[in-house]
Structure 1
Amino acid sequence: MHEARQYEKRDTNAVKCSLCNHRCSINEGKHGICGVRINEKGTLYAATYGKISAEAVDPIEKKPLFHYFPGTTSYSLGSIGCNFHCRHCQNWHISRADLETARLRTLSPEEGVSRAVGSGCASISWTYNEPTIWHEYALDMGTLARARGLGTVYVTNGYITEEALRELAPMLGAYRVDLKAFTEDFYKKVCGAHLQPVLDSAVLARELGMHLETVTLVIPGLNDSMEEQEALIRWVIEHLGPDTPMHFSAFHPDYQMTDRAGTPVATLEKIYEKAKALGLHYPYLGNVYHHRYENTFCPSCGATLIERRGFSSQPIGLDGTRCRNCGETIAVVTHAG
């Protein structure tokens, strides 16, 4: 196995992991909350280094990222494990899998970059399960990827520590972070985590120069009140900026949360309209296909800039990063390839 980064050795062969904000103390022979960082004789190992459970060429819009290399594909990789225990997890079959029973195959960082280039992708995404716990592998692959001119994407719950995120910063281009709710109670009861570290990591990602987009899965009865959503939107505008794309996605019952119905489209539309009224430039709806609120509009003149249907996109009103109609500069990262 591959020795981990971001940890300290302690007495009696214990270790203290500093990769995510659980900051697990791990005794010999045990693993952290994530299930994949294991202490063997006082050394912490990244047990899933180079081991993948999923590999695909996805539209970048599927992440979802709407302002980072729009219209391109992203070479996407996942493994197993997670540092959250979300009751509504849609990828629970890999996030809750264990090393003994999971069906994993080996892929070196070099081969991953070669496959990304060979498939014509503009970026590599670490996704499907939580990439924070894949730190060493993503760091090695991402460093190689950037040298080859590829973009790099984390699809993350945002529970990474400051020191770990700073280590990734030279290679990480886009930080697509879940803001699962805007209450500590939700994070504790539904995810087994805390809210503030997620907010802190989003602010730091912005400060480190990463492209940032947020996703909130709107769950009826848990985080769908207009008061909570308005508070979240205001926080994003104040701390991340009004140009931050925010995706508000429809929930569907899954895993351990089958006790409530899916999100009404009308609820999402109200949140979208509130976001626009508060001054957010780029709100979007998710999991609601063929809706006009998937499109990108100029925040100055209202012209349609990028038209979307599902995961396909068509730029119809952009000249580079400017609105063709009024000349407004649009907060989008385009791919030159």
Structure 2
Amino acid sequence: MSEIVLQREQPDGRLMCTLCPRECQLRDGQRGMCFVRMRQGSEIVLDTYGRSTGFCIDPIEKKPLNHFLPGTPVLSFGTAGCNLACKFCQNHETSKSREVDAMSARATPEMIAAAAVRGGCRSVAFTYNDPVIFYEYALDTAAACRAAGVKSVAVTAGYISGGPREAFFGAMDAANIDLKGFTERFYRELTGAALAPLLETIRYAVRETACWVELTVLLIPGQNDSEAEVTALAEWVVEACGPDVPVHFTAFHPDYRMLDVPRTPVETLLRARTIAKGAGLRHVYVGNVHHEAAQSSYCAGCGTKVIGRDWYALSDWGLDDRGACVVCGTALPGVFVGPPGTWGRRRQPVRLA
């Protein structure tokens, strides 16, 4: 297990967890808001290290990552708990779990890397809940994967403090970061968190690391889908991160504590895509709906469709082995190594033991 100090003693004897901006202050035996980090004596520990809610091989496009090893399989896993309190959580059975025993799958980092190799996976994804909260487990697993020639992917809300941020994104080859909205009101009322630390994480990951980053925005009717908010969000991404960061606008469906909110219409997603492209973003997608044209990738130089997608299955392919358009030679930003994979839409549960 990695030797990482993520705590600070307070004058009243409590220990402050310094992993994320919540900075939970704990007495002996208390757990942080994330549930999986707790104080044991003079230390704050990850007491769920080496335990997972399960493993599955997915298409990389499901993360979603459209510019990272397209068509390849990724071994996905997560744990329990989360450091956000999203009222619209679509993985609440695990991310909101308060039962350690629910994590029945036990696996060392080396076991996970070996399972990825056996399954023909090019990468391992830390997903289903946020890998920030199982920081040590994620970093150790990423190191084991790197040693085995397997890449690491974080699917994260990006709610992490500046100190541990460097090691976290330094260990990842790719990340999809949820930009859940673009107002402090939205973050405060619907996620129980703050927007500003997330924006700093996104800016840092894109500008200061070698990690490939894509962003996901879950559009919720009446909450974060206004033309003004989508415009402001897209303009910020262009200014802070550049025009080549892929952005996925995905559809909300009623879940958890927002069962009375309707599903996002596809027209809302397409409108957001148009707004974002008008603001200067070059690669904008829609998700959680079937729309082949808006889920495909196009060359920024000549407009040719270079990657066709039907849900998670690839169709058209117009890139050379370096990831450049075969018509005009313009590079598609991302990580492209050789020909595309052929995994398609399959979802394959995996048992490590």
- Counterpart of 2:342 in structure 1 is none
Q: Please give the alpha-carbon distance, in whole angstroms, between the structure 1 residues aligned to 2:83 and 2:101.
A: 19
Partner of 1:198: 198
What's the Cα RMSD here? 1.7
Mapped contact 2:153–2:174 kept (Cα < 8 A): yes
CA distance in 2, matches of 1:10, 1:314: 57
**SS of residue in 1 equivalent to 2:263:** coil
SS at match of 2:238: helix
C-alpha separation between the residues in 1 aligned to 2:329 and 2:218?
33
Residues 170 and 210 in structure 2, CA contact (< 8 A), matched pair in contact too: no
- Equivalent position of 1:38 in the other structure: 38
Q: Which amino acid aligns with 2:327?
A: N
Match of 1:286 in 2: 287
What SS does the aligned partner of 2:170 have?
coil
Question: Does residue 167 of structure 2 align to residue 167 of structure 1?
Answer: yes
Identity of aligned residues (%): 39
Counterpart Cα distance in 1 of 2:331 and 2:293? 22
Equivalent residues of 1:3, 1:44 under 8 A apart? no
Shift of 1:10: 4.0
Confirm whether residue 324 of structure 1 aligns to residue 326 of structure 2.
Answer: yes
2:170 and 2:57 map into 1 onto residues whose CA distance is 24
Change (3 A) 1:48 1:335: farther
Contact 1:184 1:195 (8 Å CA) reproduced = yes
Q: Please state how far the C-alpha of 1:11 moved relative to its aligned partner.
A: 5.2
267-276 or 8-17: bigger deviation: 8-17
Tell me if structure 2 keeps the 8 A contact 1:162–1:204: no
Whole-angstrom CA distance in 1 between matches of 2:11 and 2:232: 44
Q: Secondary structure at the match of 1:33?
A: coil
| CA shift in 2, pair 1:118/1:162, >3 Å | same
Partner of 1:83: helix, strand, or coil? coil
Q: What secondary structure does 1:288 align onto?
A: coil
Tell me, yes or no, if the aligned pair for 2:2 and 2:140 is still in contact at 8 Å.
Answer: no
Change (3 A) 1:154 1:67: same
Q: Deviation per CA, 1:132-185: give whole Å up to 9, x if none.
A: 001000100101111222111110001011211212243211121000000000
Deviation at 1:336, TM superposition (A): 4.8
- For residue 68 of structure 2, what is the aligned residue in structure 1? 68
What is aligned with 2:230? Answer: 229
Match of 2:345 in 1: none
Does residue 251 in structure 1 map to residue 252 in structure 2? yes
TM-score for the superposition, normalised by structure 2: 0.92
Please give the alpha-carbon distance, in whole angstroms, between the structure 1 residues aligned to 2:44 and 2:75: 29
CA distance in 1, matches of 2:325, 2:140: 37
Q: What is residue 93 of structure 2 aligned with on the other side?
A: 93
- 1:167-222 per-position Cα deviation (integer Å, ceiling 9, x unaligned): 22432111210000000000000000000000000111111221110000000000
CA distance in structure 2 between the partners assigned to 1:224 and 1:130 by the alignment? 24
Q: Which amino acid aligns with 2:304?
A: A
The verdict on how the C-alpha distance between 1:38 and 1:281 changes in structure 2, with shifts beyond 3 A counting, is same
Amino acid of the residue matched to residue 56 of structure 1? Answer: C
Query: How far does residue 100 in structure 1 lie from its aligned partner after superposition?
Result: 4.6
2-side partners of 1:45 and 1:288: how far apart? 40
Aligned-pair distance for 1:13? 4.8
Task: Give the 3 Å change call, closer, same or farther, for CA 81–4 of structure 1 in structure 2.
Answer: farther
Amino acid at match of 2:94: I
Count of residue pairs the alignment pairs up = 337
Q: Tell me the distance in 2 between the aligned counterparts of 1:3 and 1:303.
A: 49
AA in 1 matched with 2:51: K
- Partner of residue 152, structure 1: 152
CA deviation vs aligned residue, 1:29-68 (integer Å, no higher than 9, x gap): 1011101111011211101110100210010000000011
Pair 179,154 (structure 1): closer, same or farther in 2 beyond 3 Å: same
Q: In structure 2, how many angstroms separate the alpha carbons of the residues matched to 1:171 and 1:239?
A: 22
Superposition map of 1:81-160 within 5 A: 81-160=81-160
Cα distance in structure 1, aligned partners of 2:329 and 2:60: 25
Cα distance in 2 for residues equivalent to 1:48 and 1:336: 38
Contact 2:159 2:197 in 1 (8 A): yes
- Relative contact order (alpha carbons < 8 A, sep ≥ 6): 1 or 2 greater? 2
Bigger CA drift: 225-234 or 317-326? 317-326
Is the Cα contact below 8 Å between 1:297 and 1:306 reproduced in 2?
Answer: yes
Residue 215 (structure 2) aligns with: 214
Cα distance in 1 for residues equivalent to 2:290 and 2:227: 22
Tell me which residue corresponds to 2:306: 305
Cα pair 1:4 1:46 within 8 Å, conserved: no
Distance 1:114 1:214 in 2: 29
Cα distance 1:169–1:263, how it changes in 2: closer, same or farther (>3 A)?
closer
Name stretches of at least 5 consecutive residues in structure 1 with no aligned partner. Answer: none
**Any idea what SS the aligned residue of 2:32 has?**
coil
Find out whether 1:274 has 2:275 as its counterpart.
yes
* C-alpha spacing 1:311/1:331, structure 2 compared with 1 (3 Å): same
Counterparts of 1:105 and 1:271, CA distance in 2: 39
Change (3 A) 1:2 1:169: closer
